């Protein structure tokens, strides 16, 4: 391997165009990482991204990209439902992998990926790296020190709304980089608000509170069809899921991923105890003090992330760039990260078990930890 990581981008869709390409082709990272290839089943899209960002090679398939042998690692920016298959292809060829959220759709897939990567000696990093955030690290410290007293319950969740239909920079144009159809977000496998949006809050919640032990849920499809640029998009993946997590000793959390309508004024995370509440960046209504809080106040939640410096602070999807750089540091400097595949597996198992609970009407045990 060269003295920088040669990175392949798998999928030239929304997350790659708004996050990976703009950040990872900047001059300040060229000594650490360079995008050397991109693939997308819409070859014209891969070629357009290659031309716009000066990426040397463009392919239609991951198999072609891997066969060319010009990458050390890949970042999977493809629909969540194909992450497992693509991740296994890369791992089996000895490549390091960054998974955009969510890593897989089932815990069995996650187990096989982790076991194969360990056997091959390759590294896996999985978004979202919520515990890379200094604020979340400080919240965990405060709770461990007893700042809220005995914890009682917690809340997290997200709503789809029309977020993906309204991503104007990649949805509203006529060329391959701006006319990307969001249909997969609403289809099986891998669609739905849990894997796509609730994953953030649940990574933060479990990172702060520790692994969950059981889950029970109701789930189904509430909005059966969506509209995008005059086209009707059918929904067959659950878009309305409400669950209760059991962390043990009667400490519970309410978690939701819904078609529309989130809870008002609920920060990430929202944790209650007998002595108060942590809601986003406040404890009992007062600001939580932590290293980098001024940067977060100025640039949003990503301002204090370790690699998000200079111009990166003002760009979209800086947290994804941070997660990729965690893999780069691990590959080049043998510096492990807390954005681990094991943590991602635990969150995936919660989702996997929640859907099973909704089908069976029974609470489901969670077996993984991190």
pLDDT digits (tens, 9 = 90+) for 137-171: 999 999 999 999 999 999 999 999 999 999 999 99
- Given this model, what pLDDT does residue 8 score? 99
Taking residue 297's Cβ as centre, other Cβ atoms within 10 Å add up to 12
Instruction: Find the length of the chain.
Output: 370
For the chain, what are the domain ranges? Answer: 5-126, 131-302+340-365
- CA-to-CA distance for 348 and 351, rounded, in angstroms? 5
pLDDT given at position 46:
98
Q: 39-61: b or e for each residue (b if 16 or more CB lie within 10 Å)? A: bbebbebbbbbbeebebebbbbb
Q: What is the pLDDT of residues 35-81, one digit of tens each?
A: 999 999 999 999 999 999 999 999 999 999 999 999 999 999 999 99
pLDDT on residue 1: 61
What does DSSP say about strands 5-10 and 33-39: parallel, antiparallel, or unpaired?
parallel
Q: How far apart are CA 206 and CA 200, in angstroms?
A: 10
Same CATH topology for 5-126 and 131-302+340-365: the answer is: no
167 to each of 122, 164, 189, 221, how far by Cα in Å?
34, 5, 22, 23
Of 117, 130, 190, 172, the C-alpha closest to 355 is: 190
* Tens-place pLDDT, residues 76-118: 999 999 999 999 999 999 999 999 999 999 999 999 999 999 9
HSE-up of residue 305 (Cα within 13 Å, Cβ side):
29
49 with 38: CB under 8 angstroms? Answer: yes
Contact indicator for 136, 130 with CB cutoff of 8 Å: yes
- Would the pLDDT of 135 be above 70? yes
- What is the mean predicted confidence (pLDDT) over 177-185? 98
199-222 residue pLDDT tens: 999 999 999 999 999 999 999 999
Q: Determine the topology of domain 5-126 in CATH.
A: Rossmann fold (3.40.50)
Q: For residue range 282-318, list pLDDT tens digits in order.
A: 999 999 999 999 999 999 999 999 999 999 999 999 9
pLDDT value of residue 2? 75
The average confidence (pLDDT) of the chain is 98
- Provide mean pLDDT across the span 270-276: 98
- Which runs of E-coded beta strand occur in 247-305? 252-258, 270-273, 276-279, 282-283, 286-287
Among the CATH numbers 3.40.50.300, 3.40.50.1400, 3.40.640.10, 3.30.360.10, which is that of 131-302+340-365?
3.30.360.10
């Amino acid at each position: 391997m060269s003295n920088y990581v040669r990175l392949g981008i798998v999928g030239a869709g929304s997350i790659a165009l708004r996050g990976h390409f703009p950040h990872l082709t900047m001059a300040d990272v060229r000594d650490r990482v360079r995008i050397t290839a991109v693939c997308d089943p819409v070859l014209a899209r891969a070629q357009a991204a290659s031309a716009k960002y000066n990426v040397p090679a463009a392919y239609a398939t991951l198999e072609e990209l891997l066969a060319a042998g010009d990458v050390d690692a890949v970042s999977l920016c493809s629909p969540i439902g194909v992450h497992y298959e693509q991740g296994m292809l890369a791992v089996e060829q000895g490549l390091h992998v960054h998974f955009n959220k969510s890593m897989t759709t089932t815990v069995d897939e996650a187990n096989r990926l982790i076991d194969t990567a360990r056997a091959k000696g390759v590294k896996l990093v999985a978004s979202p790296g919520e515990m890379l955030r200094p604020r979340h690290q400080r919240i965990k410290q405060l709770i461990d020190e007893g700042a809220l007293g005995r914890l009682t319950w917690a809340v997290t969740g997200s709503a789809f709304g029309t977020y993906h239909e309204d991503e104007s920079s990649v949805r509203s144009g006529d060329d391959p980089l701006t006319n990307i159809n969001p249909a997969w977000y609403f289809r099986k496998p891998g669609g739905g608000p849990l894997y796509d949006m609730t994953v953030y809050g649940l990574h933060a919640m479990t990172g702060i509170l520790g692994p969950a032990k059981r889950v029970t849920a109701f789930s189904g499809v509430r909005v059966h069809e969506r509209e995008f640029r005059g086209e009707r998009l059918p929904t067959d993946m659950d878009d309305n899921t409400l669950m209760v997590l059991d962390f043990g000793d009667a400490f519970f959390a309410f978690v939701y991923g819904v078609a529309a309508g989130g809870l008002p004024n609920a920060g990430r995370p929202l944790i209650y105890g007998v002595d108060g509440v942590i809601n986003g960046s406040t404890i009992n209504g007062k600001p939580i003090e932590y290293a980098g809080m001024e940067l977060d106040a100025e640039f949003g939640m990503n301002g204090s992330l370790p690699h998000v410096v200079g111009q990166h602070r003002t760009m979209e999807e800086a947290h994804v760039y941070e997660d990729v750089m965690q893999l780069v540091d691990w590959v080049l400097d043998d510096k492990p990260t807390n954005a681990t595949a094991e943590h991602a597996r635990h969150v995936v198992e919660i989702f996997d078990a929640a859907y099973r609970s909704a089908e069976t009407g029974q609470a489901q045990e969670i077996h993984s930890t991190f």
